[in-house]
A and B are shown apart, each in its own frame.
Chain A
């Protein structure tokens, strides 16, 4: 849904609107947030009426979100839980001061669990097999809830300077003088300089 981004922009005073934006707001511009009414309507038929409007997300929800996060960007044997937990914990922290976020996360987790019970008679985190859990997540991938968690992970995993090296990415280079003397053309598995007709210089 584009409305959050639009709302953000339209609520800004003129002067601030031209200023710098934080990463979550940016995410709204660059990533789709194609969330539709699916979230609300998916809940409608289920017994969520008793769910509190905003709850403190506890240990159980934390573990649930950890599993969900690892299923969104699985890196088995490549990353440990720590970077995922950092993202989960920052979402939980955000929910502590923002009841709309708390409700979004809480309702989203309940909804996902209900979908798991309906098909597998099991809570989401207990569903066996990555493919089965991914399929459940595909059902909710257009919701604000899912994209909220995914957005946190996109930055928390792939724009995380502590993890760059793990992926073979080296990040900022100007401080080191670029790569002119540090391997910009160090491949040995292809010809060093296969210049052909056309590159006269």
Chain B
């Protein structure tokens, strides 16, 4: 019998979103005996819903509510209504994440100290260090089942697509080459099977070898009887009392009926577009610029990694679609080596696309047709691919704002997602294109395609952590500087993006936050 929590129960923690942040937090609180209601805008999927079909899954799981792309990036033209590529459903974007489970590097917590102020950017140090987060990274790796030393699980076997990248990288003198750490079982573990090299990791893992809150944290939380997950529940507004403490959220259910769930604590984990949007939409006479926004930083500093794709036609068949989509990384360029002409670093992550997606993204947008495209696609079998994932500097102009007139299906102002690359991003991307050209040519490729950024799956920074309340939205626990019983529990807390895929850090922060909330509740502080 599923747990039911009363709408008027004001002793519960309300968690908005069920992905890496929200789903993990719910389970961590439940294991401490703390009751929560998880309000998830999307529906609940099962393994039966998961297909090995790129467009079918895109249509089934993507967040496709009204959004606008703006700013100077190519997507403002080429992906005008799809600035970000994330999931709407129980499990959030952990349904489609690829499983790369990297820790941020020490220098990436100290962006401002290490590289100073950067013109045109709004960089800041995190109020926490790598050392402080390491114990929680360990816990996250054990929880998720990350291949490597902490779990003792070996990295995944190398598949064709990664062997191309790995050998090319080796020939170019690189040596940080590994098929992990991945939150994908390489052996049966924790009731989930080992990876069968199915591919389609980003369409949802059909067998659950990849960690996702959809089938790990969420059911674990529900099993305790301390957590109620309400799918199809879109939170519209967070409300507060006269003292300025939040006391509940207003949400629409599947039929569009409006409810208020009372709360002792509210944790926002709706990803870096919806989370700041919710705070901005929760403006009141007391919080005229939006909730928790005395700094004016809510929605600003939107980061989504400096990214690009490179696909090379190899002299012999590769069959890149066979096997784990991203199980293979080259990290040599991820360090802060400013002699390259930019700050921060980038990862090279093997990434296979199927024919349906490659045909749409090889040359994205309305101009991606013609003989150049069709002849390249005839060589699909020979292609190998990589995704460049680099540090994206915080900029005030890159931000989430509310549209003046356009509204979504709930009548809320639609989010406008503005993104303009910094010159640092441009220099880094060009460097990475050259690196990949050298790598692929070293293994015999004579035909290489550079792809611009895809709509972002890594979205960060829009409610950033800061030491000082004037510089950011939340403190080092993810707790709003302005409202002590309001937390941000997703990637929007990130002060810098680093060059690593964000999920592991989101999970580590959620574990740490749950511990803090538990202690604060026990001591009566919250």
Q: Is B65 an interface residue (CB 8 A)?
A: yes
* B369 & A72 in contact (Cβ 8 Å cutoff): yes
Check B176–A141 contact: CB distance below 8 A: no
Q: Bound state CA distance, A17 and B355, in angstroms?
A: 28
A47 at the interface (CB under 8 A from B): no
Q: Which of B68, B196, B365 contacts A34 (CB 8 A)?
A: B365
- Tell me if B55 and A32 are in contact (CB < 8 A): no
Answer whether A167 and B198 are a contact pair too, CB < 8 Å, given A15-B256, A185-B160, A201-B147. Answer: no
Within 8 A of A (CB), among B180-209: 180, 195-200, 206-207
Q: Decide yes or no whether B2 CB sits under 8 A from chain A.
A: no
Contact B318–A32 (Cβ < 8 Å) = no
B378 touches A32 (CB 8 A): no
Contact A14 B409 (CB under 8 A): yes
Given A172-B51, A190-B167, residue A167 in contact with residue B160 (CB < 8 A): no
B79 CB, min distance to chain A CBs, angstroms = 7
* Contact, CB under 8 Å: A154 / B360: yes
Main secondary structure of the interface of A (DSSP, over half): loop
Quote the shortest CB–CB distance from A60 to chain B (angstroms). 24
Instruction: State whether B77 touches A34 (Cβ < 8 A).
Output: yes
- Contact of B421 with A by CB under 8 A: no
Chain B residues with Cβ below 8 Å from A189 are 315-316
Interface bits B312-326 vs A (CB < 8 Å: 1, else 0): 000111110111000
The answer to whether A179 touches B198, judged by C-beta atoms less than 8 angstroms apart, is yes
Q: Does A117 contact B (CB under 8 A)?
A: no
The range of chain A's interface size is 35 or more
Residues in B whose Cβ lies below 8 Å from that of A74: 370-371, 374-375
A168 adjacent to chain B (CB < 8 Å): yes
A171 proximity list for chain B (CB < 8 A): 52-53, 354
Question: Contact at B177–A190, with CB atoms within 8 Å?
Answer: no
B443 on the A face (CB < 8 A): yes
Contact: A168 with B381, CB < 8 Å?
Answer: yes
Residue of A nearest to B176 (CB): A198
A75 within 8 A of B: yes
The complex places the Cα of A177 from the Cα of B43 at a distance, in Å, of 28
B59 contacts which chain A residues (CB < 8 A)? 20-23, 26
Interface residues in A161-189 (C-beta closer than 8 Å to B) = 164, 167-174, 177-180, 182-187, 189
Q: Is B422 an interface residue (CB 8 A)?
A: no
User: Given A184-B322, A185-B158: A169 and B78 within 8 A (CB)?
Assistant: no
Which 4 interchain pairs have the tightest Cβ spacing? A168-B381, A178-B196, A172-B52, A178-B198
